[in-house]
Amino acid sequence: MLAEAGFYAGNIDGWWGPKSRNAIVEYCSAQGITHVRVDRNKSNADVTISRVYANGKFICHGLEDEYRAVKKWGDTRIPAGTYNMAMRTKGGFHNRYKRMFGAQHKGMLHVLHVKNFKYILHHIGNYDKDTAGCLLLGRADYKAWAVWQSKKAYLRYYKLVAPAAIKGKLIVTYEDNDNI
């Protein structure tokens, strides 16, 4: 999707910064693509908290594992970069969410083609222990290093971005602004 427009759809060293963020937003808007931006703004040795935007509008906060130069399975956030997203309609999360949310659940929001990572999802959870590299959605509590009201935030986010994921018109950019 982005590759056809001259953007790299994946992680690369020295990927585009704020000047090109506008180019991505403009391109996505013109093509009817929903763009999610995960602005990683605070981290410690165990967890990263971010602000999550859809088409430039703040939606909720995110929580994921910490940065590691060398990946440790289940305990490392994905590299900064821009990735395609789609729906994953199999697996344990999908089956649980289908039971939990019924007909409104169309699949799990799945980040695609992340080198050395598999099954990176955006889902519900509160603490570092609830993620193995996935992005948890909620309202940040920086003192507790957690996100609250996760189900409410997830449903709000899901309703906004799931239709684009179903159509194959959803991308996500992870930005490292947490001074790691």
Cα–Cα distance for residue pair 69/116, rounded to 1 Å: 13
The amino acid sitting at 156 is R
Rounded average pLDDT over 161-171? 96
| Per-residue pLDDT, 118 | 93
Confidence (pTM)? 0.89
pLDDT at 75 over 80: yes
CB 102 within 8 A of CB 111: no
Which secondary structure element, helix H or strand E, spans residue 101, and what is its range? helix 92-101
Q: What is the pLDDT, as a whole number, of residue 5?
A: 52
Name the β-bridge partners of 83.
172
Q: Confidence class of residue 142 from pLDDT cuts 50, 70 and 90?
A: very high
Amino acid at 116: N
Higher per-residue confidence, 6 vs 51: 51
Q: What is the mean pLDDT of the chain?
A: 89
CA dist 120 to 29, 74, 85, 156, Å?
A: 25, 10, 10, 19
pLDDT tens for each residue of 20-69: 667 777 788 888 889 999 999 999 999 999 999 999 999 999 999 999 98
User: Residue 17: exposed, middle, or buried by beta-carbon count in 10 A (0-12, 13-18, 19+)?
Assistant: exposed
* Number of separate helices (H) and strands (E) present in the chain: 3, 9
Percentage, residues of the chain above pLDDT 90:
76
Check residue 60 and give its pLDDT.
98
